[in-house]
Structure 1
Amino acid sequence: MVIRKSRKKIFIIICAITCFITLSHHLYRYAHHSFPAYFSPPPLPLISTLSNSSQSISIVHISSQPSLPPPKILSTISILIPDWEVLVIIPPEKSTQIILPLGNNYVCLFPNNVISSARLLGKLPFNGGYAFKCEFPMRNRRRLPFFQPILVFKEEQENLYFHQFLNAPLHLLRWNFIVYDSFTTKNDIVLFVKGVNNRQGVNRPPSDFRCVFGDEPLTAVRTNITSSVQEVFRCPRPEITGSHPISVTVEILENDRTVMMPTLARYVPDNRRTIIQSEGKSLMCACTMVHNVGKFLREWVMFHSKIGVEKFVLYDNDSDDDLVAQVESLRKEGFDVRTIYWVWPKAQEAGFSHCALYSTQICDWAAFFDVDEFVFSPTWLESAQPNIDMLRSLLPADPDVERVGQISIQCYEFGPSGQIVHPIDGVTQGYTCRRRFDQRHKSIVYLPVVDQSLLNVVHHFRVKDEYRSIQIEMDKAIVNHYKYQAWPEFQSKFRRRVSAYVIDWRENMNLMSNDRAPGLGFQPIEPLGWTEMFCEVRDERMKMLTKRWFGVNGHSIMAWQSS
């Protein structure tokens, strides 16, 4: 009886072992087939990671055949930005190695082998690297930590998986704590820093920071920060030489420890300036931040070029319309329009600081207006034609003698004026009804006297102490701000609050703030009666003026419609 029970137990054990082995074999085959990156990586040599949170990648397919040449290794740095998007940056020291076609030929490959399309944003003009953007996949948002993707060719995505390239993925950098750009002047370097001075008007003292030049913390060269206002930090150039880009970041001094910020910024020691002074200085530039303004650009450029703006500097904040084609068309027609890819989100003030640095070497004055804002003077109504001295007449004859560093012009805000789509003959023709009282102001700044801090708020700069700002009387000049347009246009604007210090319309807070559209709330839903909102005064002066100046074919069309 005992022997029979023992045999029964042995038989049960043998059956259990057999079932376990069989089941394990099937599970292994299923996992190996479905998730090869985690179970059977190819026998490739380990690729070491680079410093500054970058990761080495290959953008060509790796084959296990020993006869093929080794893959070309590049480096990327990836940052999670708002709206679950990822910026993927190829640093400048690696971008010179790119000989393969750019454009939208890449995808982002994440460690769990999920793929999303990568869109080329452009070459960063002062950083020198390339910027791509891809969506952070929905399934990857559910589990921390978040990991950086790698950039691979779209044509080869079928046969690729993450661990062919990198066995240890790096954590995604966060947009709320990073040094994201730099600008080198003759004597110092300006860094653009997110995540330190987060409240308007509240800035930590420069003594809390140092600039750090170099990839290795122990051998890096440090210089003191001389200014730290908003997102703009300045420090002297170090006593080092070389022609290759090196990392530069900000070191935060906190009691008995230091915190090194992750960085995208690069510095080339032997560059005397970021901009070579090879062009003549003009009287006036116009600086603006743009996003998908292709349909509005021609009207804005053509109008302001005729009254005195000679150079237009557009900071392109991730446009995906026909802006590039419009800029190229205008340039072929002789207009000096230049684009700087400013891909950084919620960084308008920093972009204006950047433009003040850029423009000071090519212009004496800079007008900080948006593309939906047009300068207008009632004194021009009697002029048959525009002339390039019209804006000049608003400026002091000699700003250094008069000690005037900035003029401010008040704004009228125009409403939809009955329009349900973008008026084909332009905003100056289509929007003719406005709010009664002026709202805020925009500025034209004398660039040599902009304060060292580069502080600016709502298109208005701080100037040096010995200079003053003056406000133009409204009977001399105003700005027509075509702010509340036909709903499809305003709805697209609803997502883009580019200022770091302006409330997003999508946030359910401070609903009575002047930064908001009255009556709109926080949802992108067309309010009842939108087409007639903000219509308190019928004002057709600009319509009549531009019809006279720019009307063609018997005034049936406008000059900006002819191309």
Structure 2
Amino acid sequence: MKSFKKSLKAAVRTPLTIRAKMRERAVSRAPRFNLTACAIFREEAPFLAEWIRFHQSVGFEHFYLYNNFSTDNFKAVLQPFIREGLVTLVDWPRPVGQLSAYADCIRRCWHEALWIGLFDIDEFLFAPDGRDVRSVLEAYRDLPGVCVWQAFYGSSGHIERPRSPVVEAYTMRAGPDITTVKTIVNPRLVYKPGVHLSKFLLGEGMDTHRRIIAPGMLPELDILRINHYWSRSLSDLDQKVRRGDASTSESRDKNRHLDFESRLNVERDETILEAMRRLR
């Protein structure tokens, strides 16, 4: 029965697979962008500029940003980037809107970019050796998606938000037992985008060591990695709890979040600062 269902699904997807291959050939010849990012955000105005400029410095060429009920001054922050042609801003007033935003971005922009990274404003993606991320991805063009492991960072003892940049202020992180992945996808091959893992018409997403992601797998942070500044300061964590989550309708539990944050300050890791020095 399982083999029959699998064959049936393959038959149903055959026209989509043929179309995806045709699109891939067409876009690969002359893409507008090699590497872009898609993110949904809410009340992130203080962090948007740093996040955009950092990712521009490591090779991202365009950003599709989906506003999800923000009431802060995000428009003023993003306007210079929009005028620069670096940001496409989409208003997305949908509860639990993360997956639908990803699907909309892929539907609209599959023809523009070789790769679209699906990750968040508190996540910074880079190559630890200082290479341009686009050059790293050249070795994975045969894959439909590249899964990038995360290191989770805590408050580093900051109760209130410090004046320094995020990547300089928060240097304490969890051990390798607390991790997950986010995926850089080939948008022509995705049929079901996910928060962490997506489903593809051809093949499966793999990490940079070409492993299929499985529960309990230890992260590999040497080729590409994401620093996930999960809490930032404790005051930022409180705001995070109150604003809710774009991927679920469940309310956030403050005590559970504080307990989790207490596990994110185990070891000092300034790899991102060294990578930035190498980039410069």
Name the TM tier (shorter chain).
Answer: 0.7 to 0.9
In the alignment, structure 1 residue 390 sits paired with structure 2 residue 132: yes
In the alignment, structure 1 residue 498 sits paired with structure 2 residue 254: no
CA apart distance, 1:519: 1.9
Structure 1 residues 397 and 410 mapped into 2: Cα distance closer, same or farther (>3 Å)?
closer
Structure with the larger RCO, 1 or 2 (CA within 8 Å, 6+ apart): 2
Match of 1:431 in 2: 170
Match of 1:251 in 2: none
Match of 1:446 in 2: 186
Give the number of the structure whose residues are more often helix, by fraction.
2
Q: Which of 264, 273, 276 is the matching residue for 1:534? A: 264
Deviations 1:502-531 (A, max 9, x none): 743149xxx9xxxx63626xxxxxxxxx7x
- The answer on whether the counterparts of 2:127 and 2:275 sit within 8 Å (CA) in structure 1 is no
CA apart distance, 1:459: 3.1
Match of 1:364 in 2: 114
1:6-21 to 2 correspondences below 5 Å: none
In the alignment, structure 1 residue 488 sits paired with structure 2 residue 224: no
The secondary structure found in structure 1 opposite 2:200 is coil
In the alignment, structure 1 residue 342 sits paired with structure 2 residue 95: no
CA distance in 1, matches of 2:275, 2:113: 28
Deviations 1:335-377 (A, max 9, x none): 5111100001112111111111122132121001111111132
Match of 2:206 in 1: 470
Deviations 1:436-474 (A, max 9, x none): 1141101100111112xxx2332321011x322111242
Match of 1:295 in 2: 46
CA distance in 2, matches of 1:398, 1:434: 28
Q: Which 4+ stretches in 1 moved above 6 angstroms?
A: none
Q: How many residues align?
A: 240
Match of 1:379 in 2: 129
Structure 1 residues 450 and 487 mapped into 2: Cα distance closer, same or farther (>3 Å)?
same
In the alignment, structure 1 residue 330 sits paired with structure 2 residue 81: yes
Structure 1 residues 396 and 469 mapped into 2: Cα distance closer, same or farther (>3 Å)?
farther
CA distance in 2, matches of 1:504, 1:441: 23
> Match of 1:392, as an amino acid?
R
CA distance in 2, matches of 1:504, 1:398: 38
> Match of 1:542, as an amino acid?
I
Aligned-residue sequence identity (percent) comes to 26
Q: Which of 46, 69, 83 is the matching residue for 1:318? A: 69
- The answer on whether the counterparts of 1:416 and 1:533 sit within 8 Å (CA) in structure 2 is no
Give the number of the structure whose residues are more often strand, by fraction.
1
Structure 1 residues 351 and 292 mapped into 2: Cα distance closer, same or farther (>3 Å)?
same
Q: Which of 118, 140, 145 is the matching residue for 1:406? A: 145
In the alignment, structure 1 residue 517 sits paired with structure 2 residue 268: no
- The answer on whether the counterparts of 1:432 and 1:539 sit within 8 Å (CA) in structure 2 is yes
- The answer on whether the counterparts of 1:432 and 1:543 sit within 8 Å (CA) in structure 2 is no
CA apart distance, 1:544: 4.1
CA distance in 1, matches of 2:268, 2:224: 18
- The answer on whether the counterparts of 1:327 and 1:338 sit within 8 Å (CA) in structure 2 is no
CA distance in 2, matches of 1:281, 1:322: 30
- The answer on whether the counterparts of 1:331 and 1:337 sit within 8 Å (CA) in structure 2 is yes
CA apart distance, 1:292: 1.3
CA distance in 1, matches of 2:138, 2:257: 35
Deviations 1:135-166 (A, max 9, x none): xxxxxxxxxxxxxxxxxxxxxxxxxxxxxxxx
CA distance in 2, matches of 1:547, 1:425: 17
**TM norm structure 1:** 0.40
- The answer on whether the counterparts of 2:114 and 2:186 sit within 8 Å (CA) in structure 1 is yes
1:155-194 to 2 correspondences below 5 Å: none
- The answer on whether the counterparts of 1:315 and 1:340 sit within 8 Å (CA) in structure 2 is yes
Which structure 1 segments of 5+ residues have no match?
1-225, 228-278, 381-388, 521-529, 551-563
Structure 1 residues 317 and 416 mapped into 2: Cα distance closer, same or farther (>3 Å)?
same
In the alignment, structure 1 residue 281 sits paired with structure 2 residue 32: yes
The secondary structure found in structure 1 opposite 2:121 is coil
In the alignment, structure 1 residue 461 sits paired with structure 2 residue 208: no
The secondary structure found in structure 1 opposite 2:259 is coil
> Match of 1:450, as an amino acid?
V
